[in-house]
Amino acid sequence: MNTSPVIGIDVGGTTVKGVVADRDGLIIAEVRRPTPSPDPTGALVVDAVAEVVAALDADPTAPVGVVVPGIVDEMHGKAVYSANLGWSDVPLARMLSERLGRRVGFGHDVRAGALAEARWGAASGASGIIAFVPIGTGIAAAFLIDGRPVVGGGWAGEIGQVRLSTGPHAGARVEEIASATGIARRAGLADARVVAERVASGDPALRIVWDETIEVLADVLAGLTANLAPETIVLGGGVALAGDTLTSPLAAALDARLGPLRRPDLRTAMLGDRAAALGAALIATGSSGSSSSASGPNASDSR
């Protein structure tokens, strides 16, 4: 079994995070650079990735995996859409392989985070379907079935985009209310973490903001559970750092909605903001169930 290090790179909305990891997920080196954004052609991001790879100073034959946000079609190696980066059908997998002069694994940040949490993090050893739900600047989900991500042409798991039809926030999209950004905005504070801290210490006005957040998240997770029946849901992103302040009322609200259905095990993520880069490293090794730019059309990709 190959145990040599692997490079994983996560192109985030604001930061490009690069890691060199061993095959046990231990991080040997790490580099961060600002993301050039917007970058409609992808050329600046490709430059930034090349610079991060150089700065990581790893074995030049080390496999490289790169993951990006937005709508990503692994099967065709394309960044289909990203509002932040201004992408529309950019063939990033090919561009990265050409620039780096080697095979580059290519994938989606949330699905990569799910792979890493399943291999080395909160869902390590979990059986059944696994859901990873980062609640940060936005809200999304990724699902692993038999270890393989559900892709749906890049559109699967976009649970933050649905408009609420009823309740106090009817008309708003889920992530406008329940993301870290949405929580902070509704609380009139700079950071959702401060909201969670004040809720934990009994602030009654912020309790209302928090309770409404819980209600929206519980509706979303109840639908997710009814559809896919995950045995484990890993909550990630900045909001999951609230720990019990989040999971305890959320588990109760979910329980109230699930009637006779099987309850998922709610956990908080363990790999923090390195999950996607570690998942990129998994994709680089081809051991992820995800595709790489070199593999071409592959029936497994839409799982």
Contact between 220 and its own copies by CB under 8 A: the answer reads yes
Q: Closest distance between its own copies and the C-beta of residue 288, in Å?
A: 16
Report CA-CA distances (Å) from 147 to 124, 170, 266. 11, 36, 18
Give the count of residues interacting with its own copies (CB under 8 A): 47
* Binding segment (CB under 8 A) for its own copies, from list 15-23, 39-47, 243-251, 255-263: 255-263
User: Residue 59 — left, alpha, or beta (φ > 0 → left; ψ -120 to 50 → alpha)?
Assistant: beta
Q: Does 302 bind its own copies (CB under 8 A)?
A: yes
Query: Whose Cβ is closer to its own copies: residue 143's or residue 210's?
Result: 143
Residue number with CB closer to its own copies (97 or 288): 288
106 touches 146 (CB < 8 A)? no
Pull the structure tokens for residue 61.
């034959």
> Is 69 a binder of its own copies (CB under 8 A)?
no
DSSP string, 248-278: HHHHHHHHHH-TTSPPPEEEE-SSGGGHHHH
- DSSP H or E run through 93: helix 92-100
Of 222, 250, 271, 275, which one interacts with its own copies (CB under 8 A)? 222
The reply on whether position 155 binds its own copies by CB under 8 A is yes
26 or 229: CB nearest its own copies: 229
When the beta carbons of 34 and 155 are compared against its own copies, the nearer one is 155
What's the min distance (Å) between Cβ of 298 and its own copies? Answer: 10
Interface residue with its own copies, options 257, 285, 287, 294 (CB under 8 A): 257
> For residue 163, with 0-12 CB atoms within 10 Å meaning exposed, 13-18 middle and 19 or more buried, which class applies?
exposed
The CA distance from 254 to 284, in Å, is 36
Phi-psi region of 272 (alpha: psi -120 to 50; beta: other; left: phi over 0): left
Quick one: which segment of 155-163, 234-242, 273-281, 289-297 binds its own copies (CB under 8 A)? 155-163
Residue 219 vs 273, nearer CB to its own copies: 219
Among 38, 54, 98, 163, binds its own copies (CB under 8 A): 163
Rule CB under 8 A: choose which of 23, 128, 193, 286 binds its own copies.
128
d(CA 180, CA 258): 25
Give residues 21-60 in contact with its own copies (rule: CB under 8 A). Answer: none
Collapsed DSSP state (helix, strand, coil) of residue 8: strand
Radius of gyration of the chain (CA): 19
Which pair of tokens denotes residue 196? 């969670």
Cβ–Cβ < 8 Å for 104, 96: yes
Stretch touching its own copies by CB under 8 A, among 48-56, 104-112, 159-167, 203-211: 159-167
Whole-angstrom Cα distance, residue 91 to residue 293? 10
- Sites of contact with its own copies (CB under 8 A): 128-129, 141, 143, 145-146, 150, 152-159, 161-163, 165-167, 173, 215, 218-220, 222-224, 226-231, 253, 256-262, 299-300, 302-303
